[in-house]
Chains A and B, each alone.
Chain A
Amino acid sequence: MAAHRCGLSLVFILIFSSLACHSSCDSLENANEDTEEKQSVSDTPREVNSDGSIAAEDLNERRGRSTDAELDRRDGTRTSEALTPAAAARDEFQEELVIRPLHSGDIYASFQFRTLWDTDFLQEGQKVSHYRLFPKSLGQVLSKFSVRELHISFTQGFWRTMQWGQPFIPSPPGAELWVWFHDTVSDVDGNWKELTNVLSGIFCASLNFIDLTNTVQPSASFKPLGLGNATDHRFLRYATLPREIVCTENLTPWKKLLPCGSKAGLAVLLKSEKLFHSSFHSQAVHIRPVCQDEQCTSKAWELRQTLNVVFDLYTAGQGKKEWSLFKMFSRTLTEACPLATSSKVYVDITDNPEGELFELSPATPLLSQAVVLGDRRTYSVFDLTRAETFGQLRSLNLLLRWKGDGGEMLRPLLHAERYVAGFGLQTGEIHTVIYNNHPYRAFPVLLMDSVPWYLQLYIHTLTVTSKSRDNKPSYIHYQPAKDRHRPHLLEMLIQLPPHSMTEVTVQFERALLKWTEYTPDPNHGFYVGSSVVSALVPSMVAMNTNFTQDQPLFSSFVPVKEESSYFVRVYTEPLLVNLPTPDFSMPYNVICLTCTVVAVGYGSFYNLLTRTFQVDEPSLPLAKRLANLIRRIRGVPLLT
């Protein structure tokens, strides 16, 4: 990768390298695709009945294939017109970093990388084998498994809403994966299974542990974030792995999905030794179809890679209240990614209008305002595509120097937490507490709980109380678990009164597992994933509903439908529950042995106590009996 500077040649080197990397997979996948094509051909007659457009489709398909072939040929020879010029121009890549000093003295850094891919292979059923900025590994997955939307996050740590406020994109501890499949998919479960295994390979994570026992189909909590208004939750799959540990091996494949890798642009800051020396680390990939323009005449695939990290004041700052890019990431910025159309660093200075809280250097005249999470925030902007940003040193090292104390933060309007109540290993109670801190507005929230089957929920004990009064949920969707097959799913729409605490409790019994079902460390406990609270929270300021308008990436992830409220998702902490566990060591054998002995002994003793024993008189031989018969007739005493 020596050819940093000349952008176009770099593109092709990237493409080549990725092609080389995946050539082995390609051959396999081609085989699969062939079979798929055959299926689609065999499917067409059925479609004819409805559409009657077999000829046109056939033509389309052929054209698609021929262009494919052409493209492949052109790849080697020509450079710039790989795609039609218009399309090539519309693939784009943006990167941005938001730094928000938190009231607690910690610092929150959020990276967002957005790749737009101007193609719509699912709709037209055409095969695409040309990838410019979009990572090929993900593109192939999307087309093979007919994925409409894919969201995956890996998080290490728990977002402390009460100290840090709301994150830009929330995620639960561990791994979370939710996927909307295209409604043409017939075997969703099969696709899901394969998809998780493939993703497991791509991200070097244990996603292959996702199976039917921890997958649910939420009916309301997870709506598609991109185009299309799919509501049939049969095509949605949601799973979390709260136990998943995120580390460098997950970061490296994630970085490789970026067009510039970690060689240029903001991604140079992503050094694992610093990122994992923090209070919170979360990385995510979100893929969804979006509109290219305001009229939505053409669609595009959007890949958003986000990475959120919170650095701790005490452990990383060595007590000095001072932050710099170098201190946080042990790197400074020297250039933008050459492939990026925009590359910006935002620093949140809303709480610091006159610079009384902290001092930011170098100063920038560029200010930007954005409405984020119901609040109007002001940001200092550093545009990395402009040379003057880097100054004379040719490097940008942002420096934040605290002056005063952080002061009190406004309590976040929505907040939730969860814990297990009770003691002993037989029963327990899950408490979910949801706080509405809005002084005068009530709003509804959707609570989703997915509980593994080995906690047997007593759904009749479900209570929802707010302000010590019963609060009847207006919508309840409950799917009971099947032992060893599927988890419980509980979704509720609850109205939260203003300035209140709502408590949802449900009792459970701990199941006795078969001895092979215990994990290798059974005494650690078993995890129950976070519950998800999704809500439209009343906004203090008018939200920006114009989705396509040019705005910072962090403020434009979740589409806003109305001005008066904004969407928030809050994850509670996962639970660690102890199940009744046998002692898997020598005493266990002893117990088995004594039980056996006692069982045998009990049988004999019971026998002894309930029966009476008598000496059995031996029966007389035949001769004596005959003699007795005669003696009886004669009236003589009998023989014995």
Chain B
Amino acid sequence: MGLLSDPSRRKVLTGLLTRLNTPICIVCYLAGIVWFMGLAFEPFTLRTYMSENAMGSTMVSSGERALSLAKEFDAHKRQAYDGMPVEWLVKAMQSRGLEVFTQSFSRKLPFPDENKERYMVRGTNVYGILRAPRAPRTEALVISAPCSPGDSNNQAVGLLLALAQYFRNQVYWAKDIIFLVNEHDLMGTQAWLEAYHHTNITGMEYSPLQGRAGSIQAALSLELSSDVITSLDLILEGLNGQLPNLDLANLFYAFCQKLGVLCTIQGKLQRNDWDTAEGYTHAAQTMMLMVLKQACGRSWGDHGLFLRYHIEAASVRGINSFRHYKTDAATIGRLLEGMVRKLNNLLERLHQSYFFYLLPSLSRFVSIGCYMLAFGLLVVILLLRALDLWVHLGAPALAAVEGVTEAQQPSGPGVLTVLTPVVISHLTGVALYLLPVHLQEMAVEHFPVSETEAVVLTAVAIYTAGLALPHNTQRLLSGEGTEQGWKVLKLTALLYLAVLLGCTALINFSLGFILAVTLVPITASMTPHMPKALSALVMVLLSPAFTVLYCVFIYQELIEAPVSVSEGWMLFLSVISQGILDHALYGSLVYPLLALFIYPCWLMFWNILFWS
């Protein structure tokens, strides 16, 4: 640091940085984007490998009864008017020698969920515990199958029961195995997990569990949509972008290879032609899908909620799409048996492999050390701009010291000038966070809309109303905004944004990166001296809400279901309502992050644009 403590050399360095600031920033931004896109290029990624020694090779052999059980379950489900046939399940599990318990739960949603058509939710979870012989009830594995209305997941329940029967007759279990059939997909899992750990994070009402089996080491969730399964899809993205240990994915991949089952991730098969443009595009699409799914912070399967409790979990979804290839239930049973057996062999929790990774394909991964650089290159722009501003702010002061004894120049704008916009933007953020849910009744009374629409439209209205703030803020200020005033405000805002994005990326890289890609260019370049109308348009188009909108379109494009603008708009609205619901029901943090921090931060820059 001798370089910096020598004032003359420091002057040279800062001079260089301020002079070349804009080119450096542009280079950094482009390098960041290119680096990120390069992550999907196969030669730059690592091959996945099994880190856990305890999961060595195991011989496995399984159930043919799954389909008939599924049909029986289906029949009983119909008898129960599409609800869960609790009694039949209890009997079925008991007859297979499990200790069976039920748990009922109920929850009133903050507003009706129109996607899944539910408001007052009442349900029952049924779970059976297979007690491992000579084990002291300290460790357990969970296999869960959501029981949803319609006949979408009956095969999974049938397979679950067949597995239970097969497992019960084996002698090699060292951990108790819990077979969980949960109603109302994620809500059932949430209620069960909260009861198992005796916590209450989301205000759900549930009955306490009667039987437990120690600390859960790993969980697998099973979703089979039809009788004919052509491929299995692995879903890893959990709540708040948490991912399970990479060894779980490796385990799944290894068994798929062994049994010759087609396996996909993000619904995309693996390709071997990485050196062609199509091969690269395919890998990039797969990775982008993972980034988008992770960024949205919701749980993409039942497994996602387990991750909060430090339980490694993944969902396996059976898909019927590649028509020429069929996998029978017995093969899937063998696959699951193999996975559970290997998890059973674990001496420690899965911890050897990576927890932070991106997957361009099932056999390739990008570790945190590689992808963080892309984000770092973007965030360093904010710091460089902040340094530039700092130097500019310091320069007149230096001049004053050197030269003429002018009458005490205000050493900087008053604290008030900076603080007022910060406080007002954050109050808007709080309003955006609180009001939509709390004002829904009023909105429904005065406007002809449903409750869900009321909530979403209130959110959009508050968001738009925030744009009018700068003019009001100026009126509140006592004096004129000075040149130094906006510079100090911008310096604060830049550092604030850098810290915010940095913290977000540490927890959820994808979210941090996506926000950085859109927010960094406008925030880095914004000054009050730019053409107002044009820059305002650019700012709005790169605001957090529009980022979400673009993500919706890109996601639809990537899953090969492109939508028109109006459909996209409807999807955007439902994404907002889902975000608010996820926050209320499962404690997802993306909506509060956007409403309470990112949006106010963006508003501060909006303020700078309209600084007068």
Asked if A pairs with B, the answer is yes
A residues contacting B by CB (< 8 A) are 156-158, 160, 163, 173-174, 242, 276-281, 312-315, 319, 417, 419-425, 429, 431, 521-525, 527, 573-578, 583, 585, 601, 604-605, 607-608, 613-615
New A-B contacts (13) at CB < 8 Å, excluding given A279-B133, A523-B348, A578-B310: A173-B137, A276-B134, A278-B133, A319-B169, A422-B198, A523-B349, A574-B136, A574-B138, A576-B214, A578-B215, A583-B351, A585-B352, A615-B8
* Cβ contact within 8 Å between A521 and B348: yes
Can you list the 9 inter-chain pairs with the closest CB atoms, starting with the nearest? A173-B136, A421-B198, A604-B1, A523-B348, A157-B134, A576-B138, A573-B137, A156-B134, A524-B348
| A-chain residues with CB within 8 Å of residue B309 when the two chains form the complex | 423
Q: Nearest residue in A to B368 (C-beta to C-beta)?
A: A587
| A-chain residues with CB within 8 Å of residue B4 when the two chains form the complex | 604, 608
Interchain CB contact (< 8 A) of A524 among B168, B171, B349: B349
* Cβ contact within 8 Å between A315 and B171: yes
* Cβ contact within 8 Å between A524 and B169: no
* Cβ contact within 8 Å between B212 and A417: yes
B279 within 8 A of A: no
Tell me the bound Cα distance from A105 to B8 in angstroms.
89
| B-chain residues with CB within 8 Å of residue A279 when the two chains form the complex | 131, 133-134
User: Known interface pairs A312-B133, A608-B5. Does A523 touch B351 (Cβ–Cβ under 8 Å)?
Assistant: yes
| B-chain residues with CB within 8 Å of residue A173 when the two chains form the complex | 136-137
Question: Which parts of B292-314 form the interface with A (CB within 8 Å)?
Answer: 308-310
User: Known interface pairs A315-B169, A523-B349, A613-B7. Does A242 touch B197 (Cβ–Cβ under 8 Å)?
Assistant: no
CB distance from B548 to the nearest CB of A (A): 30
B568 within 8 A of A: no
* Cβ contact within 8 Å between A157 and B133: yes
Tell me the bound Cα distance from A601 to B1 in angstroms.
8
CB distance from A434 to the nearest CB of B (A): 14
CB distance from A523 to the nearest CB of B (A): 4
Q: Nearest residue in A to B214 (C-beta to C-beta)?
A: A576
| B-chain residues with CB within 8 Å of residue A276 when the two chains form the complex | 134
Tell me the bound Cα distance from A524 to B169 in angstroms.
27
B99 within 8 A of A: yes
Tell me the bound Cα distance from A583 to B354 in angstroms.
11
B170 within 8 A of A: yes
* Cβ contact within 8 Å between B99 and A163: yes
* Cβ contact within 8 Å between A613 and B136: no
B135 within 8 A of A: yes
Q: Could you jot down 15 A-B contacts, CB within 8 Å? A: A158-B131, A163-B99, A278-B134, A279-B131, A314-B168, A419-B214, A524-B348, A573-B214, A576-B215, A578-B215, A578-B349, A608-B1, A613-B6, A613-B7, A613-B10
| B-chain residues with CB within 8 Å of residue A577 when the two chains form the complex | 215
| B-chain residues with CB within 8 Å of residue A521 when the two chains form the complex | 347-348
| A-chain residues with CB within 8 Å of residue B134 when the two chains form the complex | 156-157, 276, 278-281
B97 within 8 A of A: yes
Interchain CB contact (< 8 A) of A423 among B139, B199, B214, B349: B199
* Cβ contact within 8 Å between B348 and A607: no
- Encode B212-256 as 1/0 by CB contact (under 8 A) with A: 101100000000000000000000000000000000000000000
Q: Nearest residue in B to A613 (C-beta to C-beta)?
A: B7
* Cβ contact within 8 Å between A615 and B7: yes
Tell me the bound Cα distance from A183 to B342 in angstroms.
53
CB distance from A507 to the nearest CB of B (A): 12
Tell me the bound Cα distance from A525 to B310 in angstroms.
12
* Cβ contact within 8 Å between A158 and B135: yes
CB distance from A574 to the nearest CB of B (A): 6
* Cβ contact within 8 Å between B197 and A423: yes
Tell me the bound Cα distance from A340 to B151 in angstroms.
66
Interchain CB contact (< 8 A) of A614 among B7, B139, B212: B7
Most interface-central of B198, B212, B309, B352 (chain A CB within 10 A): B198
Q: Nearest residue in A to B308 (C-beta to C-beta)?
A: A423
Q: Nearest residue in B to A581 (C-beta to C-beta)?
A: B351
Tell me the bound Cα distance from A366 to B308 in angstroms.
61
| A-chain residues with CB within 8 Å of residue B198 when the two chains form the complex | 419, 421-422, 429, 431
Q: Nearest residue in A to B133 (C-beta to C-beta)?
A: A279
* Cβ contact within 8 Å between B7 and A315: no
- Encode B1-35 as 1/0 by CB contact (under 8 A) with A: 10011111010000000000000000000000000
| A-chain residues with CB within 8 Å of residue B8 when the two chains form the complex | 615
- Encode B149-180 as 1/0 by CB contact (under 8 A) with A: 00000000000000000001111000000000
* Cβ contact within 8 Å between B351 and A573: no
| B-chain residues with CB within 8 Å of residue A576 when the two chains form the complex | 138-139, 214-215
Q: Could you count the A-B residue pairs with CB atoms below 8 Å apart for me: how many are there? A: 105
User: Known interface pairs A158-B135, A422-B198. Does A524 touch B5 (Cβ–Cβ under 8 Å)?
Assistant: no
CB distance from B470 to the nearest CB of A (A): 32
User: Known interface pairs A157-B134, A421-B197. Does A314 touch B99 (Cβ–Cβ under 8 Å)?
Assistant: no
User: Known interface pairs A421-B199, A524-B349, A578-B349. Does A157 touch B171 (Cβ–Cβ under 8 Å)?
Assistant: no
| B-chain residues with CB within 8 Å of residue A315 when the two chains form the complex | 133, 168-171
Tell me the bound Cα distance from A614 to B401 in angstroms.
13
Interchain CB contact (< 8 A) of B1 among A319, A524, A583, A607: A607
* Cβ contact within 8 Å between A573 and B97: no
Most interface-central of B6, B347, B349 (chain A CB within 10 A): B349
Tell me the bound Cα distance from A421 to B208 in angstroms.
12
Question: Which parts of B333-391 form the interface with A (CB within 8 Å)?
Answer: 347-349, 351-352
| A-chain residues with CB within 8 Å of residue B197 when the two chains form the complex | 421-423
Question: Which parts of B268-325 form the interface with A (CB within 8 Å)?
Answer: 308-310
| A-chain residues with CB within 8 Å of residue B212 when the two chains form the complex | 417, 419
* Cβ contact within 8 Å between A573 and B138: yes
Interchain CB contact (< 8 A) of A314 among B97, B215, B348: B97
| B-chain residues with CB within 8 Å of residue A429 when the two chains form the complex | 198
| A-chain residues with CB within 8 Å of residue B349 when the two chains form the complex | 523-525, 578
- Encode B521-533 as 1/0 by CB contact (under 8 A) with A: 0000000000000
Tell me the bound Cα distance from A576 to B138 in angstroms.
6
| A-chain residues with CB within 8 Å of residue B139 when the two chains form the complex | 576
Q: Nearest residue in B to A242 (C-beta to C-beta)?
A: B136
* Cβ contact within 8 Å between A524 and B347: yes
* Cβ contact within 8 Å between B348 and A160: no
CB distance from A347 to the nearest CB of B (A): 23
User: Known interface pairs A576-B214, A607-B1, A608-B4. Does A313 touch B133 (Cβ–Cβ under 8 Å)?
Assistant: no
Tell me the bound Cα distance from A522 to B133 in angstroms.
24
User: Known interface pairs A276-B134, A608-B4. Does A575 touch B99 (Cβ–Cβ under 8 Å)?
Assistant: no
Tell me the bound Cα distance from A420 to B349 in angstroms.
17
Q: Nearest residue in B to A417 (C-beta to C-beta)?
A: B212
| B-chain residues with CB within 8 Å of residue A278 when the two chains form the complex | 133-134
CB distance from A101 to the nearest CB of B (A): 16
Tell me the bound Cα distance from A622 to B130 in angstroms.
95
* Cβ contact within 8 Å between A160 and B131: yes
| B-chain residues with CB within 8 Å of residue A174 when the two chains form the complex | 136
Tell me the bound Cα distance from A521 to B348 in angstroms.
7
| B-chain residues with CB within 8 Å of residue A524 when the two chains form the complex | 347-349
Tell me the bound Cα distance from A522 to B309 in angstroms.
18
Tell me the bound Cα distance from A16 to B206 in angstroms.
68
Tell me the bound Cα distance from A422 to B310 in angstroms.
11
CB distance from A309 to the nearest CB of B (A): 10
CB distance from B211 to the nearest CB of A (A): 8
Tell me the bound Cα distance from A278 to B348 in angstroms.
24
Q: Nearest residue in A to B173 (C-beta to C-beta)?
A: A315
Tell me the bound Cα distance from A173 to B135 in angstroms.
8
Most interface-central of B309, B347, B348 (chain A CB within 10 A): B348
| B-chain residues with CB within 8 Å of residue A160 when the two chains form the complex | 131
* Cβ contact within 8 Å between B5 and A613: yes
| A-chain residues with CB within 8 Å of residue B347 when the two chains form the complex | 521, 524
| B-chain residues with CB within 8 Å of residue A163 when the two chains form the complex | 99
Question: Which parts of B476-532 form the interface with A (CB within 8 Å)?
Answer: none
- Encode B399-425 as 1/0 by CB contact (under 8 A) with A: 000000000000000000000000000
* Cβ contact within 8 Å between A422 and B199: yes
| A-chain residues with CB within 8 Å of residue B10 when the two chains form the complex | 613
| A-chain residues with CB within 8 Å of residue B138 when the two chains form the complex | 525, 527, 573-576
| A-chain residues with CB within 8 Å of residue B5 when the two chains form the complex | 604, 607-608, 613
